[in-house]
Every structure is written in C-alpha cells, then in structure tokens.
C-alpha cells in the first residue's frame, strides 16, 4: 500500500515537473509546478515529516507559487512568444543533463543504497522541530528573519514602488 | 517502510529535470521555476537522510531552505518585473546590460 502511494505520487511529481520544463506557456508551467509540489508534500508525509509537508503546501504551493502566478499575470506575456531555443543549445542541454541524470542515479544506486531500513519511529513533528530550532538554531533563525526583511525592501526597490527611486535607477542604467 | 535510496533517486530525477529547464529554456520565469524544482529536490534529499539517520537537523535545514527560497523568489521576480519594464521582454538573452 505504502509502495503504491510512493510510485503513484513519484510519477505525478516527475510528470508535472517535465510539463514545467517542456511546456511553452508559463501559466501551465506554474500550475504544473503546484501539482508537483503537492506530490512532494505526499513524499514528505511518507518520510514521517508531516510538519514539513504542511509547510510545503502552505509556503511553497500556497505563497511562492501564487507570487509566480501574480508576476506572470502582471507581465502579461501573451503578446511576446518565447523565441525557440537554438538547436545547438538544445542538443547540448539535453545531452549534458541526460549524462548528469544517469550519472547521479548510478552514483546513488552504487554508493548511497542503504541496506538497512531506519529502525524505530522518527519524530519530526512541530514540537520536536521547535525545541531543537530554538535550542541550537536561534542565531540562524534571526538571520533568516533579517534576510526576509532585506528581501522585502529589495523587492520594493526593484519593482519601483518608491517615488523617485525608479528615475534614479533609470538614470544610473542610462549613464 | 520505503527504502531511503528510492527517495534519493526520485530527488536525483527531479534535480535533473530542473537542470534541463535551466539549460534549455529562455523564458526567465520558467528558468526560475526550474530552480525552485531543484531546491525541492534537495529538500527531499535532506528529509530522506534525516529519516535514515534519525537526525532532526536535516528537517530544520529544510525549514531554512524554504525561508531562503521565499526570499529568493521575491527578489528574483522583482528583478524580472524591472527587466520587463526596461526591455519589454523576459527573454534572458535580452538581459545583457552587463555585457560589454
């Protein structure tokens, strides 16, 4: 039963990831990426990390992908079709990443295949994670909050919401 | 219970698909989504090893990676909006302001 769920959702994750990469329309790509992230949340449940699975759905599928969809909507890309990739670039890209994929799967099967299953029950619920995080990772936690603040300010400046900032950036670019 | 290396192989396949997107696409937003796909593949690896070794530090790393991916998405998409205002396209070949 567990194996059937694993294979079903692994197939869903891989197929929708391929749609993201191969489809020409970015809106279809973004929605496929949401589906792929939901399948990955099921993987996290199978890995006994239900808290991270909930975060995956709320933060990734909920917040980040909605941001992507809003940006696609704002840019209104309908009238500019994506130009086709150069054949040599396409050939080199597909060849290189096929080699990379075969290499990484071979390496994993050869060197990283664990004979033993993990013994006992691994607890990765919100309580355990919270206690460990505020024991050992208080400083990185605060750093991440400052990083998020910096990202908010940077995003506001870059998208030109501050009066005068846009003109200053344009002047610098034109210089 | 599912063996750990199956999760690792799934993660490797997803990472490879992400690399393929970055190498072969020109649309900036699609390239960005491929990067998110690679980040998620790495998260899956972290969680698989966390379960294998019963170590909650891997789960905490996934937490931090998610926060940093959110910051990265916000700044990166703002850069694409800015690029679109300047060049009226998000084709990454057109983004050659630093080209000399």
Q: Domain A1-80 belongs to what topology?
A: 1.20.120
pLDDT for B94:
76
pLDDT for A99:
93
Partner-chain contact A93 B4, CB within 8 Å: no
Domains of chain B from N-terminus onward: 4-92 (1.10.287.3510)
* A55 Cβ contact list (under 8 Å, min separation 6): B63, B66
**Which phi and psi angles does A66 have, rounded to 5°?**
-65, -35
pLDDT for A166:
61
- Look at the block and give the residue holding tokens 């003109």: A167
Nearest CA in chain B to A98: B16
SS3 B27: strand
Considering only the beta carbons, identify the residue of A20, A37, A100 that sits closest to B16: A100
Q: What is the pLDDT confidence band of residue A54, given thresholds at 50, 70 and 90?
A: very high
A119 to chain B, closest Cα gap in Å: 8
For A64-84, how does the pLDDT look when each residue is reduced to its tens digit (9 = 90+)? 999 999 888 888 766 666 677
Partner-chain contact A158 B44, CB within 8 Å: no
More confident residue, A15 or A130: A15
Considering only the beta carbons, identify the residue of B77, B86, B93 that sits closest to A68: B77
- Residue to mutate among A92, A130, A155, with most B CBs inside 10 A, is A155
- Among residues A119, A2, A167, A147, the alpha carbon closest in space to that of B69 is found at A147
What ipTM score was computed for the predicted complex, to two decimals? 0.90
The Cα B72–Cα B68 span in angstroms is 6
pTM of the model: 0.88
DSSP code per residue over A36-66: HHHHHHHHHHHTT-HHHHHHIIIIIIIIIHH
The Cα A42–Cα B38 span in angstroms is 17
Q: Which of residues 110-129 of A touch B (CB under 8 A)?
A: 112-114, 117-118, 120, 122-124, 128-129
The Cα A118–Cα B41 span in angstroms is 21
Q: What is the pLDDT confidence band of residue A102, given thresholds at 50, 70 and 90?
A: very high
The answer, for A82 touching chain B at a CB cutoff of 8 Å, is yes
- Taking residues A26-37, what's their average pLDDT? 92
- Among residues B74, B75, B14, the alpha carbon closest in space to that of B40 is found at B14
Q: What percentage of chain B reaches a pLDDT higher than 70?
A: 96
More confident residue, A101 or B1: A101
């Amino acid at each position: 039963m567990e194996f059937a769920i694993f294979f079903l959702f692994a197939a869903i994750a891989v197929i929708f990831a391929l749609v993201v990469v191969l489809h020409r329309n970015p809106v279809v790509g973004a929605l496929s990426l949401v589906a792929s992230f939901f399948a990955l949340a099921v993987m996290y449940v199978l890995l006994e990390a239900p808290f991270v699975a909930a975060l995956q759905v709320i933060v990734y599928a909920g917040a980040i992908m909605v941001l992507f969809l809003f940006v696609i909507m704002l840019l209104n890309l309908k009238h500019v079709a994506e130009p086709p990739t150069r054949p040599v670039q396409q050939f080199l890209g597909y060849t290189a990443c096929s080699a990379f994929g075969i290499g990484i799967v071979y390496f994993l099967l050869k060197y990283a295949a664990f004979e033993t299953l993990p013994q006992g029950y691994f607890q990765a619920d919100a309580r355990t994670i919270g206690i460990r995080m505020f024991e050992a990772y208080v400083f990185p936690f605060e750093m991440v909050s400052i990083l998020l603040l910096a990202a908010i300010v940077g995003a506001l400046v870059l998208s030109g919401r501050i009066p005068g900032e846009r003109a200053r950036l344009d002047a610098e670019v034109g210089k | 219970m599912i063996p750990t290396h199956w999760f690792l192989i799934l993660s490797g396949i997803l990472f490879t698909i992400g690399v393929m997107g970055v190498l072969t696409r020109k649309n900036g937003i699609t390239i960005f989504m491929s990067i998110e796909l690679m980040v998620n593949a790495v998260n899956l690896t972290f969680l698989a090893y966390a379960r294998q070794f019963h170590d909650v530090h891997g789960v905490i790393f996934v937490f931090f990676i998610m926060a940093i991916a959110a910051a990265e998405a916000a700044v990166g998409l703002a850069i694409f909006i800015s690029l679109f205002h300047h060049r009226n396209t998000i084709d990454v070949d057109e983004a050659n302001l630093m080209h000399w």
